[in-house]
Chain A
Amino acid sequence: NAGVMQNPRHLVRRRGQEARLRCSPMKGHSHVYWYRQLPEEGLKFMVYLQKENIIDESGMPKERFSAEFPKEGPSILRIQQVVRGDSAAYFCASSQGHGYTFGSGTRLTVV
């Protein structure tokens, strides 16, 4: 069981470009959560997805951010037209009931 896999581990984008972050949940897990972590801060909820459905996107900015979890393949967090303030670590977690298992995160740097 490889755990929650996120890639890339590090991503550098210029302002205005698009960032695509991928997350493969643990085998057997159908619930995926995305969190953002700014330096020296806690994790802030962004979105909760199940296969082909967005269940709760209350923590996701209304513009430029989108997420999907298709029937086949990983969950994708997409940030369009990135700005410097998007620089953060983005963590994915998966669950099949109570408690999460986190991936190692993608560290996005916008230059």
Chain B
Amino acid sequence: GESVGLHLPTLSVQEGDNSIINCAYSNSASDYFIWYKQESGKGPQFIIDIRSNMDKRQGQRVTVLLNKTVKHLSLQIAATQPGDSAVYFCAEDPRTGNQFYFGTGTSLTVIP
């Protein structure tokens, strides 16, 4: 089956530092990826997406990098703030069905 895995289950960073969250995916046919942020007690919230014809996309303080050669996705958060503390999921659209596949998630803790 499909799998979307996270390299690190937890990540702690100092406030103001940059954060990098990694994700590996297994289906080379996947052509669309999304990063979600889930705060405690809430539903996942869209952060940024990227299509497979791109290798980088930037948003406000966030950048997603896609390396299709090694099937790796990363989320970079610049100047991490306490409000960034959450669990971050990557999700892939493998184009083989009607669903996105989600990884287990990385829990980001920002230390003031």
Residues of chain B within 8 A of A105, CB atoms compared: 42-43
Q: Which residues of B are found within 8 Å of A42, using beta-carbon distances?
A: 4, 89, 102-105
The reply to whether the CB of B98 lies closer than 8 angstroms to some CB of chain A is: yes
Interface string of A34-49 (1 = CB under 8 A from B): 0100001111110010
Interface string of B33-52 (1 = CB under 8 A from A): 01010000111111001000
Q: With A42-B102, A99-B34 in contact, do A104 and B97 touch (Cβ < 8 Å)? A: no
Inter-chain contacts of A43 with B (CB < 8 A): 44, 89, 102
Task: Give Cα A41–Cα B46 distance, bound, in whole angstroms.
Answer: 18
CA distance A48 to B98 in the complex (A): 7
Judge whether B43 and A91 touch: CB under 8 Å: yes
Interface flags, A81-98, vs B, CB<8A=1, else 0: 000000000010000001
Query: Once the chains are docked, how many angstroms separate the CA of A102 from the CA of B47?
Result: 12
In the complex, chain A residues whose CB is within 8 Å of the CB of B93: 98
Q: In A19-64, which residues have CB < 8 Å from any B CB?
A: 33, 35, 40-45, 48, 55-56, 58-59
Question: Roughly how many angstroms separate A46 CA and B36 CA in the complex, as a whole number?
Answer: 19
Contact A99:B46 (CB < 8 A) given known A41-B104, A42-B89, A42-B105 = yes
* A101 within 8 A of partner (CB): yes
Given the complex, which residues of A lie within 8 Å of B97, measured CB to CB? 56, 58
Look across to chain B and name the residue whose beta carbon is closest to the beta carbon of A102: B43
Residue ranges of A at the interface with B (Cβ–Cβ < 8 Å): 4, 6, 33, 35, 40-45, 48, 55-56, 58-59, 91, 98-105
